């Protein structure tokens, strides 16, 4: 597969970001029906799905090079966006192995991994990297193994340790997050870090999801989609940087709503790791403006209906109230009321 990277894209200041037709059609649109409510929407992470974004273990797209640069910028400003507690060192190596082997197998034109016993050589052509190192010896890499490999991957990652019938978020690389903080959450349990989410606790969503994950098996990864709304194609919407992006919400007008308001979708993947028994959680973020989504008739009708009928507590949690009506007014003329078929 040939990927044309767009290395000059930016996710801040001038927001030089766009979507080709092919990129739009691979967007993991998150609504299989016209209404949305929290659920345990977990399915096996097999190759293939409704769009090409589901075809690989870790999806790489035209934004890869620019997203890796954006991550480096965030880390230079705030190194605490990557933290791993000391007892997770084995999970760091598990992660490095999983990501290197998957990228090399799925994108042989761009990545390769060769092994001579514990001496490994990694080649990342899009980023111009060639690195030999000894697996298991962190001093042979320029960063810790988890930071090293997640600097070269799209999307955020967290590491969960499993003990006392619970999961603890004991590490992460979190630079493209939807308003939550690794620095604040590190060391928390599954229910603690989900504390702010409305409705889902009472519905038993988190009890069931935790039970499911505690039994996650090696070699059988799972995935789910999550979504929110972001103003501008901005990846770093962290609490740490709220003063930078929070005011963006006041800039939406009925003239610019289509271009400014973006549906932000997270393709989340969960892998049991072989040596550490930890769980790697990948949060791969995709952005598409309302104007881009309106190019697809089924998606524009459905987005209109989902946002129109969304539970008020979920609207508030996702920060929608200030501009939701403008999005609805923009999309309503596209919604002819025709029934949509199930699925994406
Ligand atoms: C939201 C982390 C797995 C369902 C969140 C938030 C975090 C998070 C940090 C934001 C909470 C806040 O507002 O501060 C994680 C991690 C997981 C994980 C590290 C890895 C084990 C799951 C699973 C489910 C789930 C398996 C399945 C039901 C949700 C839901 C929300 C949420 C429904 C609210 C999202 C929204 O409305 O935007 N998660 N989560 N999470 N999580 Fe998870």
pLDDT at 1 over 70: no
Residue 340 is predicted with a pLDDT of: 85
The interaxial angle of helices 297-309 and 324-331, nearest 10 deg, is 140
Closest residue by Cα to residue 293 from 279, 307, 275, 277: 307
In this predicted model, what pLDDT tens digit does every residue of 268-314 receive, in sequence order?
A: 999 999 999 999 999 999 999 999 999 999 999 999 999 999 999 99
Q: Which numbered atom of ligand 1 lies nearest the CA of 208? A: 28
Distance 5 CA to ligand 1 centre (A): 30
Task: Single out the catalytic residue among 215, 220, 224, 302.
Answer: 224
How far apart are the CA of 96 and the centre of ligand 1, in A? Answer: 23
215 is catalytic: no
CA 302 – CA 31 distance, rounded (Å): 7
- Which among 183, 186, 174 has a CA at the least distance from the CA of 71? 174
Ligand 1, atom 14, lies closest to the CA of: 180
**Ligand 1 nearest-atom number relative to CA 190:** 21
pLDDT bin (cut points 50, 70, 90) of residue 339 is confident
| Nearest CA residue ID for atom 8, ligand 1 | 194
Q: Nearest-5° angle of CA 80, CA 165, CA 208?
A: 95
Q: Which is the closest atom of ligand 1 to the Cα of 205?
A: 28
Mean pLDDT of 161-184: 98
Percent of the chain scoring above 70 in pLDDT? 100
- Of all protein residues, the one whose alpha carbon is nearest to atom 26 of ligand 1 is 209
Distance CA 281, CA 71 (A): 18
- pLDDT by residue (tens digit) across 239-263? 999 999 999 999 999 999 999 999 9
pLDDT attached to residue 117: 98
State residue 344's pLDDT score.
83
Question: How many whole angstroms from 220 Cα to the centroid of ligand 1?
Answer: 20
pLDDT tier at 56, thresholds 50, 70, 90: very high
- Atom 28, ligand 1: residue with shortest CA distance: 40
Q: Please tell me the predicted confidence (pLDDT) of residue 327.
A: 98
Residue 343 has a pLDDT of 85
User: Which residue CA neighbors atom 21 of ligand 1 most closely?
Assistant: 281
What pLDDT shows up at residue 258?
Answer: 98
Q: pLDDT by residue (tens digit) across 197-213?
A: 999 999 999 999 999 99
pLDDT at residue 110 in the model: 98
**Residue in this structure with the two tokens 């299989």, named with its chain if needed:** 32
CA 194 – ligand 1 centroid, Å: 6
Nearest atom within ligand 1 for CA of residue 158? 19
Report residues whose beta carbon is within 6 angstroms of any ligand 1 atom. Answer: 38, 40, 42, 158, 160, 167, 169, 180, 185, 193-194, 196-197, 200, 205, 209, 213, 224, 226, 228, 279, 281, 317-318
E strands along the chain, which residues? 43-44, 82-84, 111-116, 119-124, 129-134, 156-163, 166-173, 222-231, 261-272, 279-289
Average pLDDT, the chain: 97
Return the structure tokens found at 48.
Answer: 């293939």
pLDDT at 325 over 80: yes
Q: Cα separation of 84 and 278, whole Å? A: 13
* Protein residue whose Cα sits closest to atom 16 of ligand 1: 281
Q: State how far the Cα of 14 lies from the Cα of 10, in Å rounded to an integer.
A: 7
Residue 68 has pLDDT above 90, yes or no: yes
Between the CA of 116 and the centroid of ligand 1 the distance, in Å, is 39
- ipTM (interface pTM): 0.97
State the pLDDT at residue 237: 98
pLDDT of residue 96: 99
């Amino acid at each position: 597969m040939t990927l044309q990277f767009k290395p000059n894209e930016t996710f801040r200041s001038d927001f030089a970001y766009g979507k080709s037709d092919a990129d739009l059609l691979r967007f993991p649109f998150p609504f299989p029906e016209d209404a949305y409510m929290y659920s345990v929407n977990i399915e096996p992470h097999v190759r293939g799905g409704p769009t090409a974004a589901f075809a690989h273990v870790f999806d790489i797209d035209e934004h890869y090079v620019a997203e890796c640069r954006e991550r480096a910028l965030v880390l230079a400003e705030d190194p605490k966006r990557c933290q791993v507690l000391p007892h997770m060192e084995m999970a760091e190596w598990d992660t490095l192995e999983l990501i290197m082997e998957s990228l090399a197998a799925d994108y042989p034109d761009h990545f390769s991994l060769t092994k001579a016993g514990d001496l490994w050589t990694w080649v990342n052509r899009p980023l111009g990297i060639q690195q030999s190192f000894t697996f298991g010896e962190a001093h042979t890499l320029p960063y810790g193994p988890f930071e090293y490999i997640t600097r070269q991957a799209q999307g955020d990652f967290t590491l969960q340790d499993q003990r006392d019938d619970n999961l603890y978020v004991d590490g992460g690389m979190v630079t493209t997050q939807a308003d939550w903080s690794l620095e604040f959450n590190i060391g928390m349990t599954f229910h603690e870090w989900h504390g702010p989410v409305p409705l889902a606790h009472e519905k038993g969503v988190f009890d069931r999801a935790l039970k499911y994950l505690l039994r996650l098996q090696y070699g059988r990864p799972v995935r789910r989609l999550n979504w929110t709304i972001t103003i501008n194609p901005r990846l770093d919407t962290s609490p740490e940087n709220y003063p930078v992006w929070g005011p963006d919400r006041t800039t939406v007008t009925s003239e610019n709503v289509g271009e400014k308001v973006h549906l932000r979708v997270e393709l989340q993947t969960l892998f049991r790791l072989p040596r550490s028994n930890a769980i790697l959680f990948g949060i791969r973020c995709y952005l598409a403006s309302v104007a881009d989504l309106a190019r697809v008739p089924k998606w524009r009708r459905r987005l209109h209906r989902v946002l129109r009928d969304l539970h008020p507590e979920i609207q508030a949690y996702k920060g929608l109230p200030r501009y939701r009506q403008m999005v609805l007014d923009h999309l309503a003329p596209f919604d002819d009321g025709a029934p949509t078929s199930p699925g994406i």
